[in-house]
Structure 1
Amino acid sequence: MRRGIASITTALSLFASGTAHASDKGWRDASDIGRDALVIGALALPTVEGDWTGTLQAGGSVGAATLLSLGLKETFPEMRPDGSNRKSFPSSHAATSFAAAASLHNRYGWRVGVPAQLVAAFVGLARVKADKHHWYDVVAGAAIGEESGFLITTRRDANVRILPWGDSAGGGVAMTMRF
C-alpha cells in the first residue's frame, strides 16, 4: 500500500511539473495541484489504512501550518513579487505542502516521506516561478510546515518515539525505544 502511495505521489509530481510551462499561470496551477495532492494524500493514506489517529494528526498538522502562515501574512504584510497584494510572507502553499509531507514522512517513514517532500519542494519552486513569492517566503513557509508536521504527527511505529521538548532553561529532543 505504501509503495503504491509513493508511486502515486511521484506520478502527481511529474504531472504537475509537466503542466508548469513558462507562464505564471502554469506555475500557479502546478503549485495548486501539488499542494492539493499532498493534502489529499496526507489525509487519505491514514484513512484508507484505518489509522484514524494518523488522519487526525495530519489534519491538525496541515490546519496548524495553514492558520499560522495566514496569521503571519496579516502580521507582516509584504508585497508579492508580482505586485498583486501584500500577502507574500510566508508562503501558505509551502507551509501547507510541507506540513502534509512532513506528516506523511513522520507517520509512515522515508519511503512515503521522500516523494512527498519532493512534491512539497516542487510546490515551493512553482510559487517562486509563478512570481507569487520571494524565495525566503517559501523557506519560511517550509519551516512552518515541517515543524507543524513533525511536532503534531507521531510515528506510527509505537516502538520508537521522538519528542522535542523545551523550557525556560533550554530544549532538546528525547527519544525512547521499546525492545
Structure 2
Amino acid sequence: MRFFYLIIMLFFSTQTFAGDYKWSNFRDQHVDPFLQRSVDSTSLTLLATGLVAFYVTTPADNNIRSEWRNHQKISKDDSHAGDLMGSGAGGALLIGSQYFFDSNRDHWIQHTRALVWGAMITTVLKYSLNRQRPGNSDSHLSLPSGHTATAFTTATSLTYAYGWKAAVLAYPVAAFVGLSRLSDDVHWGSDVVAGAFLGYIIGRASAYETPEQTKYAADKYGTFYPVIAAGQSGLGWIYTY
C-alpha cells in the first residue's frame, strides 16, 4: 500500500501546493467530473454487466480455486511479478515516465486521478463487503481484488491516453495480474472479475481533460514526485526558477 500513499501524496502536492489553489478548484477538476462520468449511461451499463459477471462466476469459485491449486499454471517468480505490478509500483513508475516524457500533462494527471480514486473506492469496498479470502484465511478483505482493479485502472488510463497500441500491451498485463492472484490463492475468481470491471470503470471515469486555467496552478511552487528504489520509497521535490 505504500505505493498508493506515494501516489496520493504526489497527486495532492502537485494539485494543491499553490497558495491560490482552492478546494473549489480541486473539486471542479477531480471530483465533480469523475462522479458525473462514473454514473453516466456507459458506466452504469458496465456496472450492470460486471455485477452479472460476478454473480455468474461466484458459484464456480471453489472449482476455479481447485483447478489452480491442482494444476498450477504460473511459476512463483512470474506470480511475484504480477503481485508487484498490481501493487501500484508499476502505475507509479508509469506516472513518473508520463510526467517527465509526455508533453500532454493531462495524461499523467488522469492516470494519477484514476489510481487515487481506485485506491479509495477499493479500500471502502473491501472493508464494507468483508469477504473472507480463500483457504480459511484470517483476512476478510478479499472483494474486490485490489491488484486486479489497479492493473485494469492503469490499462484503461493508458488506453484512453495513447489508443489501441497501448491497449494491446496493457490489458494482457492486467489480465496476467488478475490470474496471478488466483495462482497465489489470495482471491476468489469472482474477486478478480469484480476488480477488472471496477478498474475499467474507474479508469474510464477519470479520463477527461483538466481545465487549463487551473492545471498549472502549482508549477511556481515546485512539484513533488515519487522516488521508488529497491527496499525503499519516498518523495522528491523539483523547483524551477
> TM class by shorter-chain length?
0.5 to 0.7
Residue 113 of structure 1 aligns with which residue? 167
Task: Choose which of 43, 59, 68 in structure 1 pairs with 2:112.
Answer: 59
Change (3 A) 1:115 1:84: farther
- SS where residue 133 of structure 1 aligns? coil
**Displacement of 1:33:** 2.5
Task: Check whether the contact 1:27–1:127 (CA below 8 A) recurs between aligned residues.
Answer: no
| 2:81 maps to 1:30 | yes
For residues 44-96 of structure 1, give each alpha carbon's deviation from its aligned partner in whole angstroms, at most 9, with x where no partner exists: 44321122211111001111112111110100011111314111000010111
Q: Mark the runs of 5 or more structure 2 residues left unpaired by the alignment.
A: 1-73, 210-241
Amino acid at match of 1:74: Y
Of 145-154 and 129-138, more deviation after overlay is shown by 145-154
| 2:154 maps to 1:103 | no
Percent of aligned positions with the same letter in both sequences? 31
Change (3 A) 1:44 1:113: farther
Amino acid at match of 1:66: A
Q: TM-score, normalised by structure 2?
A: 0.51
* RMSD, matched Cα: 1.9
Counterparts of 2:119 and 2:162 in 1: how far apart (Å)?
22
Task: Check whether the contact 1:90–1:141 (CA below 8 A) recurs between aligned residues.
Answer: yes
- SS where residue 88 of structure 1 aligns? coil
Task: Check whether the contact 1:58–1:100 (CA below 8 A) recurs between aligned residues.
Answer: yes
Deviation >4 Å, runs of 4+: none
Q: Mark the runs of 5 or more structure 1 residues left unpaired by the alignment.
A: 1-19, 156-179
Residue 73 of structure 1 aligns with which residue? 126
**Relative contact order, CA 8 A, sep 6+: which one is greater?**
2
Amino acid at match of 2:159: H
Amino acid at match of 2:110: Q
**Displacement of 1:118:** 0.7
Task: Check whether the contact 2:125–2:143 (CA below 8 A) recurs between aligned residues.
Answer: yes
- SS where residue 117 of structure 1 aligns? helix
